[in-house]
A and B are shown apart, each in its own frame.
Chain A
Amino acid sequence: MTNDAYIQVEALTKYFPVRKGFFKRVVGQVKAVDGVSFSMRRGETLGIVGESGCGKSTIGRTMIHLLEPTSGSVRFGGQDVGEMLRTDAKSLRRRMQIIFQDPYGSLNPRLTVKEIVGEGVKFHGLARGKKALDSYVADVLVEAGLLPEHRHRYPHEFSGGQRQRICIARAIAVRPEVIVCDEPVSALDVSIQSQVLNTLKDLQERERLTYLFITHDLSVVKFISDRVVIMYLGKMMEIAPTAAIFDNPLHPYAKALLSSIPMPDPTRKTEQVLLEGDIPSPINPPSGCRFHTRCPQAMERCSQSEPPMTDAGEGHGVACFLYGP
């Protein structure tokens, strides 16, 4: 990984304190994200997949410093994001946007679409005057696959897919460079999901956007991403170009995860690497490799020390003793 990467995430860590009792004493830490490093090129889509509680949403939020990381750094275009937030928060917030999962909870029900989408535009001075703002918002709505006349309506008048398009319009309205997409299509029906995914891809090509795409749906990630990170309990298990992950997963967890997807083809009964049990608690993660408690190939050293991320060639990294040092 070179220093001139567009976005460079280095040892990113986020712990949440667990408080208990009357005095809300801190009794433990939820290790949501624990030492995650990766880099992104301009215009690429990096997919982050994993099951609930693996820290994928926390990565998205700490990367753009919506949540302050416990430690570690994020460099964006050569500058430290934490530093930028102190000196020039306004431009940072314009350049990095986020789309949330729940299109119902993330739109203010008392504002019209025009107010929702126009707020950032006004704040950043991208359109001056009432008329200019009005036509600006109308254009953005069209870009996001809505109609100009939708701008006078309220969120409750829209379907789930359309609401998600409002969220997309709000994000792209300020002409960002990076968008964190946090499960943007998980709440949508299949036929609507594919429409929204296509829109996201169109926008990316036209505006040269960089996406950090967080999802638990592996078929979505296969469609949208250039590279994929597989997370488990706050740790990166594997990172590789999308084709390599799907054709040749290395980490035992990646293999199990991929084999668990029910195939939409009744003639191909999925041959599953069945994992026993549930994901352990991130408050008290297992020692050593966090996956060793469920791993079918666990060895003695897996419970004692933690495997480092090893290069398996061609941009394929894996954190597992089976492949390295």
Chain B
Amino acid sequence: MSLLRVNDLKTYFDTDAGLVKAVDGVSFSVEQGETLGIVGESGCGKSVLSLSVMGLLSEPSGFVAGGDILFEDTDLLRLSESSMCSVRGNRISMIFQEPMTSLNPVMTVGEQIMEPLIVHRGMTQRAAFGETVEMLKRVRIAEPAQRMREYPHQLSGGMRQRVMIAMGLVCSPSLLIADEPTTALDVTVQAQILRLMNELKSVTGSSIIFITHDLGVIAQMAERVMVMYAGRAVENRDVGPLFKEPLHPYTRGLLRSIPLFCEKQDRLSTIPGVVPSPLKKIDGCKFHSRCGYAFDRCRSEEPPLFRLGAPGKNASVRCWLHENGKRDFTEGRR
């Protein structure tokens, strides 16, 4: 049984300019102890997806229009707000991108980390304090008792992100959603945080959904990857095969536009054009206008997710090229 199973989730936003289908029929699952990476460019719906799972959409403009989210066999979408509150921050927690804006500036760091323990675990102030000190030690914050009395602005970016992680993990959730947790950090600090997350995961056995636009981070962190484009999942693969042999033309384009580390290139390969506006209705495959492989069918009919390989394997790609099984890219154009 999967820890989290999302089926055909549709999250829409009702805006003045029209209906924005930010997430449009996405399905995936996360197993116990697994790290699922979700990757895509800005506006692909990856953050909205995580907010939908947490039940944190900005209502009334954002709403779930269809699908279900099964967490340990409970449909989160059908829970009342008060029962959702006992899940959020307790069994599923989230780390946001910007540690400065997502910490409360008028509460001390200690109060913020202790809060979920007091609310969800019914701990006393004193017990929660002790637990928090332990947690801060685990995320390697020196002098934890002293730091707990400080306010977020007194900490550096890396420290704040450690506090966020401590807050997310203090109730030992079964699922941690990390939305671009290291994007605002410097590389040497990012390396520390990523290593820390992996260590804590191996201790607690939590599952992680790791959302990022950085393919390097995905390669180092995730076991399985879902690539999103314009509100849709376009490729679901294990991390090894995905980086070795990306199948969707978008994934291929993304991987090839990273300035490579091995050889000096004269020009970078690019994906032509820009991500289409979410308000625009696109016939056929959402990627066809930027795709070098597009043919007539791509323009008129949207491909479904084609399953690849053995039935048990969770590999799929949304592209007509792979309709009859995996297609080899070694011959052919570009």
Contact = CB atoms under 8 A, between A and B. Distances in A.
Contacts, number: 124
A11 interface: no
Given A264-B243, A266-B243, A279-B186, A191 B267 contact: no
B257 A193 contact: yes
A204 B190 CA distance: 33
Interface string B253-281: 11101111100111111111011000000
Q: Top 5 nearest A-B pairs by Cβ distance?
A: A262-B216, A223-B259, A51-B186, A194-B257, A194-B268
A269 B221 CA distance: 9
A257 B158 contact: no
A269 B220 CA distance: 6
Given A191-B254, A194-B259, A195-B270, A278 B189 contact: yes
Interface of A: 51-52, 159, 161-162, 189-195, 197-198, 201, 216, 218-220, 222-223, 242-243, 246, 256-257, 259-267, 269-270, 272, 274-276, 278-279
Contact of B258 (A192, A198, A201, A264): A264
Contacts of B104: none
A220 B220 contact: no
B219 A191 contact: no
Given A201-B267, A219-B261, A262-B214, A51 B188 contact: yes
Contacts of B260: 219
Given A262-B220, A266-B220, A266-B243, 6 more contacts: A51-B187, A52-B186, A198-B267, A263-B219, A267-B244, A272-B191
B258 A275 contact: no
A191 B240 contact: no
A191 B189 contact: no
B42 interface: yes
A270 B274 contact: no
21 contacts: A51-B186, A162-B274, A189-B275, A190-B254, A191-B257, A194-B258, A195-B272, A216-B187, A256-B188, A260-B187, A260-B188, A264-B219, A264-B261, A266-B219, A270-B220, A272-B191, A274-B191, A274-B195, A275-B191, A278-B156, A278-B159
Contacts of A266: 219-220, 239-240, 243
Contact of B42 (A189, A219, A242, A274): A189
B196 to A, nearest CB: 10
B261 A222 contact: yes
B213 interface: yes
B134 interface: no
Q: Which of A162, A191, A192 has the most CB of B within 10 A?
A: A191
A243 B240 CA distance: 28
A192 B216 CA distance: 17
B217 interface: yes
Interface string B22-45: 000000000000000000011000
Interface in B215-268: 215-221, 239-240, 243-244, 253-255, 257-261, 264-268
A269 B258 CA distance: 18
A264 B244 CA distance: 10
A161 B157 CA distance: 27
B192 interface: yes
B258 A219 contact: yes
A218 B192 CA distance: 17
B194 interface: yes
A189 B243 contact: no
A291 to B, nearest CB: 11
Contact of A192 (B218, B264, B269, B274): B274
Contacts of B267: 198, 201
Interface in B59-93: none
A278 B253 CA distance: 35
B191 A260 contact: yes
Contacts of A222: 259, 261, 264
